């Protein structure tokens, strides 16, 4: 006869943890998109060129790329509770210091140090969800978290323009840094690395998680780097994410400058129009995860679910980018750019869900490898776009995005989310 406690309705601690994770993605992108939106004002104050602006953005992007794997290792080694709180405090402190910058050199150093800290955010967060979210919830979980980042990207241009207009370009750096410090304290207080350690989880929710994911190992096993780094699927996944990373960072790092340099928008207009594509990205994130999970529930085919949504997303971006730069009407152009970001964001939740599907307890390290290549793409677009624009023009810069989106779609046809990367029975793929 079952005990009374075994028939309890499950608690929803995992959904609160998901909410905190969405919030840290939001804060990460507040800080990440801040510099590109403040750049036109900072550039005019310091008097540096578009290539200097590219070098400043490159310092952030290359640090963000180089420290992905160390960040993922940090999360897998010490657990997401300590690791995620630590990296958020790190980059928040340097975001605050950036507000006191007096030279291009100081901006470059501060942005590099911020990139070091933010590099760990997504891999550690991904690891943080790996022992909590059920396989059938992972698509919408990843879509929701990345929607949080894109919502921040959509709101940041307006927030930055407002704060700069009311105070100065220094103000948003101080405010956003404070938000990160507060979040880190809440995370450390509430989160636990495994459900069995959380006092708020009842037997109903605990049993539901164990039935889907198995029992967490009592000790943290060594990270199987040889298996991860020798996997053809891992490198295909990473190559696909390089295409995504280059493409999306064109909008995160350069789109406000494109509106200023190619379209001649004012600061207030930039705040509005720069927000529109990233607002479309929020919808894409949610739809990408929702559609993927719906396909899993209806067909049980995880490979089909991840592939179909992501490939369609890449193809939408490949078509919309060249149409957007050639469209003279500012509203139609913004709508097409929105379509491109919507398509790219159909990809991202599924890409990160694949690292959970195939990585299990090593999802942090697997996602760090993937995100390293993605952010090498981000570093390249940050540094190279200034030169592409100088010697060829803005249209050509967006044509590169279109070509890489097409390549990303081709690569995703070779990714099988149902084929586990690491033989880890504690986190089965279903």
Q: From CA 124, how far away is CA 129, in angstroms rounded?
A: 9
Residue 406 makes CB contacts below 8 A (sequence gap 6+) with 314, 315, 318
Residue 62 counted as domain residue: yes
Concatenate the DSSP letters of all residues of 346-414 into one string: HHHHHHHHHHHHHHGGGHHHHHHHHHHHHHHHHHHHHHHHHHHHHHT-HHHHHHHHHHHHHHHHHHHTT
Q: Please answer whether residues 160 and 99 qualify as being in contact, where contact means their C-beta atoms are separated by less than 8 angstroms.
A: no
For the chain, the domain total comes to 1
3-state DSSP assignment of residue 321: helix
Cα angle 337, 406, 377; round to 5 = 80
Residue 427 counted as domain residue: no
Q: From CA 388, how far away is CA 391, in angstroms rounded?
A: 5
Q: From CA 8, how far away is CA 282, in angstroms rounded?
A: 35
Q: From CA 351, how far away is CA 313, in angstroms rounded?
A: 12
Give the pLDDT score at 2. Answer: 42
3-state DSSP assignment of residue 263: coil
Q: What range defines the domain where residue 179 resides?
A: 12-412
Give the pLDDT score at 87. Answer: 95
Residue 5 counted as domain residue: no
Residue 420 counted as domain residue: no
Give the pLDDT score at 423. Answer: 57
Q: From CA 89, how far away is CA 83, in angstroms rounded?
A: 10
Environment class of 354 (CB within 10 Å of its CB; exposed 0-12, middle 13-18, buried 19+): buried
Residue 422 counted as domain residue: no
Give the pLDDT score at 203. Answer: 83
Environment class of 334 (CB within 10 Å of its CB; exposed 0-12, middle 13-18, buried 19+): buried
CATH number of the domain at 56, please.
1.20.1250.20
First-residue to last-residue Cα distance in the chain: 29
Give the pLDDT score at 193. Answer: 83
Residue 86 counted as domain residue: yes
Q: What is the largest CA-CA distance in the chain?
A: 77
Give the pLDDT score at 428. Answer: 37
Residue 6 counted as domain residue: no
Instruction: Give me the residue label for tokens 């989310």.
Output: 417
Q: Please answer whether residues 259 and 269 qualify as being in contact, where contact means their C-beta atoms are separated by less than 8 angstroms.
A: yes
Residue 307: closest CA among 338, 346, 341: 346
Give the pLDDT score at 217. Answer: 64
Q: What is the pLDDT along the chain (430 residues), one digit of tens a residue?
A: 344 444 668 888 888 999 999 999 888 888 877 877 787 788 777 877 777 777 888 888 888 878 888 887 888 788 899 999 999 999 999 999 998 887 888 889 999 999 999 988 888 987 888 777 776 777 778 778 877 877 877 787 778 878 887 888 888 899 999 999 999 999 999 999 888 888 888 888 788 877 766 676 666 667 777 888 888 889 999 999 999 999 998 987 788 778 877 787 776 677 777 778 878 888 888 888 788 888 887 888 888 888 889 999 999 999 999 999 998 888 898 899 999 999 999 998 888 888 877 876 677 778 778 988 998 898 888 778 888 988 888 999 999 999 999 999 999 999 987 777 755 434 433 3
Q: From CA 330, how far away is CA 132, in angstroms rounded?
A: 44
Environment class of 381 (CB within 10 Å of its CB; exposed 0-12, middle 13-18, buried 19+): buried
Residue 2 counted as domain residue: no
Give the pLDDT score at 183. Answer: 96
Long-range contacts of 239-242 (CB under 8 A, 24+ apart): 239/373, 239/411, 240/351, 240/408, 240/411, 240/412, 240/415, 241/351, 241/370, 241/371, 241/373, 241/374, 241/377, 242/373, 242/374, 242/376, 242/377, 242/404
Give the pLDDT score at 430. Answer: 33
Give the pLDDT score at 209. Answer: 78
Give the pLDDT score at 218. Answer: 61
Kindly state the DSSP code that residue 216 receives in the 8-state scheme: P
Give the pLDDT score at 7. Answer: 60
């Amino acid at each position: 006869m079952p005990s009374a406690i075994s028939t309890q309705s499950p608690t929803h601690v995992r959904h609160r943890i998901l909410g905190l994770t969405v919030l840290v993605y939001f804060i990460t992108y507040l800080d990440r998109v801040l510099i590109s939106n403040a750049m036109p004002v900072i550039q005019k104050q310091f008097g540096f060129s578009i290539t200097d602006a590219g070098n400043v953005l490159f310092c952030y992007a290359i640090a963000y790329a180089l420290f992905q794997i160390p960040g993922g290792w940090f999360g897998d080694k010490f657990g997401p509770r300590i690791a995620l709180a630590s990296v958020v405090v790190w980059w928040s402190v340097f975001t605050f210091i950036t507000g006191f910058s007096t030279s291009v050199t100081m901006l470059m150093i501060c942005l590099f140090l911020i990139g070091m800290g933010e590099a760990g955010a997504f891999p550690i967060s991904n690891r943080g969800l790996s022992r909590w979210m059920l396989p059938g919830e992972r698509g919408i979980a990843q879509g929701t978290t990345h929607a949080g980042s894109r919502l921040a990207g959509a709101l940041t241009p307006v927030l930055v323009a407002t704060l700069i207009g009311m105070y100065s370009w220094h103000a948003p750096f101080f405010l956003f840094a404070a938000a990160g410090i507060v979040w880190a304290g809440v995370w450390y207080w509430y989160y636990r690395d495994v459900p069995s350690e959380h006092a708020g989880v009842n037997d109903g929710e605990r049993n539901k998680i164990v039935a889907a994911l198995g029992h967490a190992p009592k000790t943290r096993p060594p990270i199987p780097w040889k298996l991860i780094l020798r996997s053809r699927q891992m490198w295909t996944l990473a190559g696909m994410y390089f295409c995504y990373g280059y493409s999306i960072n064109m909008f995160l790092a350069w789109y406000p400058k494109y509106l200023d340099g190619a379209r001649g928008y004012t600061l207030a207009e930039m705040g509005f129009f720069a927000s529109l594509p990233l607002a479309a990205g929020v919808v894409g994130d949610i739809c990408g995860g929702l559609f993927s999970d719906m396909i899993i529930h209806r067909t049980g085919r995880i490979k089909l679910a991840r592939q179909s949504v992501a490939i369609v997303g890449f193809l939408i971006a490949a078509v919309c980018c060249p149409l957007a730069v050639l469209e003279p009407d500012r509203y139609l152009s913004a709508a097409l750019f929105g379509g491109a970001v919507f398509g790219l964001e159909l990809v991202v939740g599924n890409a990160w869900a694949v690292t959970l599907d195939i990585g299990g307890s090593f999802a942090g390290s697997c996602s760090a490898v993937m995100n390293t290549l993605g952010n090498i793409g981000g570093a390249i677009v940050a540094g190279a776009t200034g030169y592409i624009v100088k010697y060829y023009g803005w249209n050509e810069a967006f044509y590169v995005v279109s070509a890489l989106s097409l390549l990303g779609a081709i690569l995703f046809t070779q990714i099988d989310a149902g084929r586990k990367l690491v033989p880890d029975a504690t986190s089965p793929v279903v």
